[in-house]
Structure 1
Amino acid sequence: MNSSNTSSGDLRIHAAQGCTGCRQGAPLPIDIDFAFQPIVDMQNKRVFACEALVRGVKGESAYSVLSQIDDENRYQFDQRCRQVAIATAAELSLDALLSINFMPNAVYRPEVCIRTTLEAAERHGFPLERIIFETVEGEQIADRAHLVEIFKAYKNYGFLTAIDDFGAGYSGLALLVDFQPDIIKLDMQLLRGIDTDTVRQRVVKGILAIARDLGIRVIAEGIETKDERDFFLAHDVSLMQGYFFAKPAFRAIPVPAEDVFLP
Structure 2
Amino acid sequence: MLTAGDLAGVAAAAPDGLRSSTSVPVTVDGAIDGALWVYAEQTDAFDRQAIAELEELATQLALGLQRLRRAGQLLQAVARQSLLTTAIDQAAETFVVTDPTPAIIYANPAAIAASGYSLDELVGQNPSLFSSGQHDHAFYVGLWADLLNGRPWHGVLINRRKNGEVYEEDATIAPVHDAAGTTMAYVAVKHDLSITRGLEADLIRERSDRAAVRQMVSGVQPGELKATADSFCEAVVGLDGFDSAIVLLTDPSGYLIPIGCRGPTALRRMVGEGTRIPYPDGFNQKTDVSALTVDGATPSSVRWLTLAMVEALLIDGFTAVGCAPLVWRGEVGGLVAVATRVPVGVEWMQTRLGILAEFGSLAGVLFGAQAEQHEQREAQRAEIRDVIDAQRFHPVFQPVVDLATGRVRGYEALTRFDGNSAPDQCFANAHLLALGDELETACVAAALVAARGLPADVWLSVNFSPEVVLSGHAARTVADASRPIVIELTEHLPIGDYPLMREAIQGCTPARISVDDAGAGFASLRHILELQPDMVKLDAGLIRGIDADPVRQALTSGMCHFARTTGTILIAEGVEAEAEAETLRGLGVELAQGYLFGRPVEAPGGAVMT
TM-score range, shorter chain: 0.7 to 0.9
Counterpart for residue 503 of structure 2: 149
Aligned twin of 1:200: 552
Q: Give the fraction of aligned pairs with identical amino acids, expressed as a percent.
A: 29
Mark the runs of 5 or more structure 1 residues left unpaired by the alignment: 1-22, 259-263
What residue identity is the alignment partner of 1:230?
E
Question: Contact 2:478 / 2:485 at 8 angstroms: preserved in 1?
Answer: no
Partner of 1:6: none
| Greater Rg by CA | 2
Superposed, 1:70-219 pairs within 5 Å as 70=431, 71-90=433-452, 92-95=453-456, 96-110=458-472, 114-119=475-480, 121=481, 126-127=482-483, 130-136=484-490, 138-145=491-498, 146-154=500-508, 157-219=509-571
- Closer, same or farther: CA 257–217 of 1 in aligned 2, 3 Å: closer
2:586 corresponds to which of 207, 210, 234 = 234
Gaps of 5+ in 2: 1-272, 275-380
Cα distance change on mapping 1:105 and 1:41 into 2, 3 Å: same
Matched, 1:220 2:575: no
Aligned to 1:37: 398
* Cα shift at 1:113: 5.1
For each residue in 1:182-205, what CA deviation from the matched residue of structure 2 results, as whole angstroms up to 9, or x when unmatched?
110001111111111111111111
Distance 1:257 1:216, change over 3 A: closer
Paired amino acid for 1:28: R
The answer (yes or no) to whether the contact 1:33–1:59 under 8 Å persists in 2 is no
Aligned positions of 1:1-20 closer than 5 A: none
The 8 Å contact of residues 415 and 423 in structure 2, kept in 1 or not, is answered as: yes
- Following TM superposition, by how much is the alpha carbon of 1:253 offset from its aligned partner in structure 2, in angstroms? 4.6
Cα gap change, 1:58 to 1:175, in 2 (>3 Å): same
> Which range moves more in the overlay, 180-189 or 51-60?
51-60
RMSD: 2.7
Higher RCO (Cα < 8 Å, 6 or more apart): 1
**What is the one-letter code of the residue matched to 1:47?**
V
Tell me how far apart the structure 2 counterparts of residues 174 and 141 of structure 1 sit (CA, whole Å): 11
2:413 is aligned with 1:52: yes
- For residues 237 and 253 of structure 1, what CA distance do their matches in structure 2 show? 26
Deviations, residues 147-186 of structure 1 (Å, cap 9, x unaligned): 33332332xx211111111122321211122121111000
CA contact (8 A) 2:538 2:573 kept: yes
Once the two structures are overlaid, the 10-residue window that deviates more, 29-38 or 68-77, is 68-77
Query: Aligned partners of 2:434 and 2:590: how far apart in 1?
Result: 40
**Contact 1:56–1:64, Cα closer than 8 Å, also in 2:** no
Equivalent AA in structure 2 for residue 149 of structure 1 = E
CA distance in 2, matches of 1:62, 1:94: 26
Alignment deviations for residues 204-253 of structure 1 (CA, whole Å, 9 cap, x no partner)? 11111111100101001110111110011112223100011111113445
Q: Residue 250 of structure 1 aligns to a residue in which SS?
A: coil
Contact residue 36 and residue 253 of structure 1 kept, 8 A: no
Q: Which amino acid aligns with 1:198?
A: P
Cα 1:57–1:253 change in 2 (3 A) is farther
The farther-off stretch of 144-153 and 25-34 is: 25-34
Instruction: Label 1:29 to 1:67 Cα distance change in 2 as closer, same or farther (>3 A).
Output: farther
C-alpha contact 2:408 2:609 (8 A) present in aligned 1: no
Q: 1:116 to 1:39 in 2, by over 3 A?
A: closer
Q: CA deviation at 1:254?
A: 5.8
